[in-house]
Amino acid sequence: MPLTINEVRPAVLQSETQTALIDYLEFRHVVRNVYTFDLRSDRVAELGHSLSSTFTLIKRDLLAFAEFLENLSQADEKEA
């Protein structure tokens, strides 16, 4: 999702958002594939504290991509 596909679509997620999400993806991997009773409470707290700002980044990027899709749809309607 952070890659631009030339002549198809822009990146859905900005690099800043991708970087923020990597921590959550790694945490998810640990929870799903390792022992959940061995979680580091400090790491869980850290991810919890940054969740709001990460959500803000995701929301910004998805709204921008939705606007791209809307503009694309409107351009298609004008051509038809």
- Which sequence spans correspond to the domains of the chain? 15-79
The verdict on pTM exceeding 0.85 is: no
- Which ranges of the chain does DSSP label H, i.e. alpha helix? 15-33, 41-79
Q: Are 77 and 36 in contact (CB under 8 A)?
A: no
Assess whether pLDDT exceeds 70 at residue 16: yes
The DSSP output letter for 37 is: G
Report which of 23, 22, 3, 12 is spatially closest to residue 62, judged by C-alpha positions: 12
pLDDT at residue number 36: 64
* Pair 24, 54: CB distance under 8 Å: yes
Hey, what are 8's tokens? 């198809």
Q: Name which residue leads in pLDDT, 3 or 43.
A: 3
**What are the pLDDT digits (tens) for 24-74?**
988 887 777 776 667 788 888 999 999 999 999 999 999 999 999 999 999
pLDDT tens digits, one per residue of 65-76: 999 999 999 988
